[in-house]
Amino acid sequence: MASFGLRRHTILSRCLRSLARPLFQPSSGRGFSSTAIPILLERVGFIGLGNMGFHMATNLINAGYTVTVHDIDIGTMKKFSERGVPAKETPREVAESSDVIITMLPSSSNVLDVYTGQNGLLSSGNHLSPWLFIDSSTIDPQTSRLLSDKVSKYHLKGKKGYAENPIMLDAPVSGGVPAAEAGTLTFMIGGMEEAYLAAKPLFLSMGKNTIYCGGTGNGVAAKLCNNLALAISMLGVSEAFALGQSLGITASTLTKVFKSSSARCWISDSYNPVPGVMAGVPSSRNYDGGFTSKLMAKDLTLAMAAATEVGFKCPITSEAYDIYKKMCDEGFESKDFSCVFRHYYSGLVEGTILTVQKQMEVSGGAQTCKILLESAST
């Protein structure tokens, strides 16, 4: 059986190398772009039009792909149908008119339901229309591998190059909503490398970086490691800003220090958690419209579960999870994960601390400063 599996993988790899070549032949009669869309990537089904998926699908449409969409939110689908984009009632209907499927969903259970549920992507019998399934959701590696194996057992309805069986890639993203909107996402891809290379033009229509991480499930594994580090980094930076304010240092000043020193990181550069320091980030709009605390808690749960599977201890991750779980329990689950600065560390809006400093100078008393700080943080 092992030798059969190896032969099957070798044959499929050869087929995909051949498939990748005709994919890059230009389509006839297209004038929307100087770079033609590969033939077998033209028809894309996009499922999951939330904060991230909405912008990703929009960027594909703007790049000239023929996109069909589905989401459980009828209002969101209406926004696409009003632009002339076909919106289908079920994932199965999306699959029937697509060469490639992209899913961007909140959880493993959502992904399983979209793929294997009633009227799901795999519900139309043993033969499927799409030759490639790309899941950009952040789920657990085990679910990703199980789905990939299930997809590979189906056959294609029509000949797609030399491929006989559909293929699945796990391709979660980094960069958040701003990068999804700007088309500057980073994709972390797991699965067959030849399929990744064939689909690369599709990824680069939604992002600016693609990183091949290895076999099936390695893309989501890389994403979990990334978000683990991101959560811990956000807590560390928020703690430092809050301490700095308590010591009389403005967040703007500390931001300049961080950017010029060893504490420099993506959060201090691009995602400052202190309201009033940086425009265009969730902290500037009451922590709305970003990566929610609920999703961060979910990703930390997945990271801890993956660590348990391989017998690895993650004590700092466990502490970070407890903090984000507390944020969710206290009603901040829909707020961006940077809200820990205000709602866990009781940090101040930038400008408040300046007022405190000025009043401290007038009063000349440390006790007065303490009272003002306590009043400002309530």
> Which of the residues are catalytic?
223
Q: Do residues 129 and 157 touch, judged by C-beta distance below 8 A?
A: yes
Q: Nearest-5° angle of CA 278, CA 284, CA 288?
A: 135
State the burial class of residue 111 (Cβ atoms within 10 Å of its Cβ: 0-12, 13-18, 19+): buried
List the structure tokens of 282.
Answer: 């969730």
C-alpha–C-alpha distance, residues 167 and 17, integer Å: 13
**Packing angle between helix 251-259 and helix 218-246, nearest 10 degrees?**
130
CA of 353: how far to CAs of 151, 169, 261, 275, in Å? 56, 49, 23, 12
C-alpha–C-alpha distance, residues 186 and 173, integer Å: 5
**Packing angle between helix 108-116 and helix 141-152, nearest 10 degrees?**
10
